[in-house]
Structure 1
Amino acid sequence: MGAWLSIIAPAWLAGSILALLSAPLGCLVLWRRMAFFADALAHGTLLGVALAAWWQLPMGIGVALVSVVVVLSLVLMDDERLPADAVLAVVAVTLLCLGLLTLTQLTDQQANVLGFLFGNLLELDWADLPMLAGSVVVGIGLLAYIWPAQIKLATHEALARIQGIHPMRQRLYFMGILAGFCAVALQAVGSLLISGLLVLPALTARLLTHTPRQMIITALIVAQIGVTLGVWGSIWLDIQTGLSIVLILALLFFATLIVSKTWQLLRSAGR
C-alpha cells in the first residue's frame, strides 16, 4: 500500500490543486460563452509544446507564443460572414494537426505523444507540486482581480461599457489566464481533454444550483470527485489519467442530467 500511495498521493494532490482553478475558470468560460475558444486554445498547447521541444525552449514559452498567435489570428479572422463557432472549430483542428505533425516529425518526443494528448498525472512526484501550486495560486489571484469586470461583461456587456469596462482588454486578460491554465493542465489531462476538465464540472453544477456562488462551489466539489475517482480509476483500468478523469466527469454530468430531467417530468406530472 505504501508503494501505491507514493505514486497516487502526489498525482491526486496535483489534480486537486488544479481543480481549485479549473472550477471557477470553467464557470466563467460558460458565462462568457467561450467554450469553443477554450477548446481551440487547449489544442494549441500541443503545438506550443512541440515548438518548445523543437527549438529547445521552456514549454511555457512555446505555449505562450502559440496563445498569442491564436488570439491575433482570431482577431484577424473576425468576419460577420463567418460563424464564430465554425471559425474556432477550424482553428482548433488546425492547431491539433500542426501540433501532432511537429511533435512526431520534428522532435524526439514521439514516445510521449499519448501523454501530451491525454495526460498522465501519475508521472508527477512531490518535487513537482510546489511549482504547480504556485502557478495555480497566481492564476486564482489574477482571476480574482478580473472577476468583477468579467461578471459584469457576462451579465450585461452594454452596461459594463457604460461603467468604464473595456471588453477587449478584459477578454485578453481572460484569454491569458485561460492560456496559462492550459499550459498547467497539459500533464493532467492532455491537450485533447483540457476543455472537458474546464466545462464538465461547470455544466454539472449548472444543473444543480441557482446562484453563481453555488455554481462555483458545486463545480469545485464535482471537479474534486472527478479527479479522485479518475486517478484511482486510471490505475484500476490501466488507462491514461486524463481519459479516466474526464470520463468520470462526463458520467457525473450525464447522471445529473438524467436525474434532473426525471425530476422535472415527475414534478410536471404531479401538477
Structure 2
Amino acid sequence: MDWALQLSILAPALVAGLLVLATHIPLGREVLRRGIIFIDLAIAQIAGLGVIAAHTLGWEVHGWETQVIALSAALGGAVLLGWAETRLQHQQEALIGIVFVLAATGGLLLLANNPHGGEHLRELLTGQILWVNWADLVPLAVLAGVFWLVVWQFPHWLPRLFARRTFYLVFAVVITFSVQIVGVYLVFASLVIPALAVMGKAQEQPALLPAFGLGVLGYAAGIAVSAWLDLPTGASIVWFLALAGLGYRLAIKT
C-alpha cells in the first residue's frame, strides 16, 4: 500500500471535516436552541439546487458563476425562512419541510434529461469529501477563520450575529460552501449530531469542546473505514458521527 498516496488523499478530507465542524457545531447549537432542526436540510438543498441549476446552464461546478447562483439561492431561502420565523412561527416547521421538498424535486426536474443526473444527485447528497484538494478548502478556512475571530475577539457581536434577521443569512453562507464538499447528509449530521449528543437535560447550550471532539472522532473513523473497506465516505462519516454520539451518551450515564 502506498501510504504517501493514501495520506495525500485522506489528509485534505480530514482537514475539510475539521473546518466544517468548526462552524457547524456552534451553528448546530443555535439550531437546537431555536428548535428548527430541519432548517439546515432545507437551506442545503436550496444551495444544491443552485449548483444543479448552474451545471444545467453549462457552468463549471467550482466556477464563480456556480458559487454566485448557489449562494444567491441559499440567501433567498434564508430570507424566506427568517420572515417565516417572525410572521408564521407556528407554521414554520411545515414551511421548512415544503421548501426542502420543492428544492429537492426541483433538482430532480433539472436533472431529468441529464444522462449523468443520478451521479450528480448522489454527489450533492453524499458529497465528495474524499476527493477534495487543498485549494478547495480555502473558502471553508476563510469562513472558519472569520467566524472564530468574531467569537474570540468580538464576543459582543455574537448576539447580533445570531439575531433573528442575521442568523439565517450567516447560516446560508456557511451551508452553501460546505454542502458542495461534504454533501447535504453530512451537513445535517455535522450540525445536529455532535451538539445534540452533548446536550444534557439541564443544559440549554451544549458544550462546544466535547461536541467538537465527537465530531473529529466521527470524521476520522468514517474516513479511515471508508478508505479501508472502499465504502462511500460521506455515508460512513454520518454513521460514525452517530455512533460516537451514542457512545458518548451511554458513557455519561454509567
* TM-score between both structures, scaled by the size of structure 1: 0.77
The answer for the alignment partner of 1:60 in structure 2 is 67
Q: 2:216 aligned with 1:249, yes or no?
A: no
- Residue 215 of structure 2, aligned match among 223, 243, 261: 223
Say if 1:80 and 1:186 are closer, same or farther in 2 by CA, change over 3 A: closer
In structure 2, distance between residues paired with 1:209 and 1:78: 28
In structure 2, distance between residues paired with 1:216 and 1:3: 33
The answer for the alignment partner of 2:102 in structure 1 is 94
- Residue 26 of structure 2, aligned match among 19, 24, 31: 24
Q: 2:189 aligned with 1:201, yes or no?
A: no
In structure 1, distance between residues paired with 2:145 and 2:188: 20
**How big is the shift at 1:203?**
0.6
Instruction: Look up the SS of the partner of 1:193 in the other structure.
Output: helix
The answer for the alignment partner of 2:77 in structure 1 is 70
Instruction: Look up the SS of the partner of 2:135 in the other structure.
Output: helix
**How big is the shift at 1:32?**
2.4
**How big is the shift at 1:77?**
9.6
Give unpaired runs (5+ residues) of structure 1: 152-164, 264-271
Mapped contact 1:21–1:139 kept (Cα < 8 A): yes
- Residue 85 of structure 1, aligned match among 87, 93, 111: 93
Say if 1:83 and 1:259 are closer, same or farther in 2 by CA, change over 3 A: farther
Mapped contact 1:146–1:170 kept (Cα < 8 A): no
CA offsets per residue over residues 161-207 of structure 1, 9 Å max, x none? xxxx7x9x922321122112212221443123311110101011214
Instruction: Look up the SS of the partner of 2:184 in the other structure.
Output: coil
Say if 1:76 and 1:12 are closer, same or farther in 2 by CA, change over 3 A: closer
Mapped contact 2:84–2:92 kept (Cα < 8 A): no
The answer for the alignment partner of 1:40 in structure 2 is 42
User: CA RMSD, aligned part only?
Assistant: 3.1
The amino acid of 2:214's aligned partner reads V
The amino acid of 1:126's aligned partner reads W
Matches within 5 A, 1:229-240: 229-240=221-232
The answer for the alignment partner of 1:182 in structure 2 is 175
Q: Share of identical aligned residues, percent?
A: 27
Matches within 5 A, 1:113-128: 113-128=121-136
Task: Return the index of the structure with the highest Cα Rg.
Answer: 1
Matches within 5 A, 1:138-149: 138-141=146-149, 148=156
Say if 1:251 and 1:113 are closer, same or farther in 2 by CA, change over 3 A: same
Give unpaired runs (5+ residues) of structure 2: none
In structure 1, distance between residues paired with 2:11 and 2:202: 31
In structure 2, distance between residues paired with 1:12 and 1:38: 22
Mapped contact 1:189–1:245 kept (Cα < 8 A): no
Say if 1:5 and 1:71 are closer, same or farther in 2 by CA, change over 3 A: closer
Mapped contact 2:126–2:186 kept (Cα < 8 A): yes
CA offsets per residue over residues 98-130 of structure 1, 9 Å max, x none? 123224436966533211110121111223233
CA offsets per residue over residues 56-78 of structure 1, 9 Å max, x none? 36232122222233234443697
* TM-score between both structures, scaled by the size of structure 2: 0.81
In structure 1, distance between residues paired with 2:152 and 2:50: 27
**How big is the shift at 1:146?**
8.6
**How big is the shift at 1:24?**
1.5
In structure 1, distance between residues paired with 2:53 and 2:150: 27
The amino acid of 1:247's aligned partner reads W
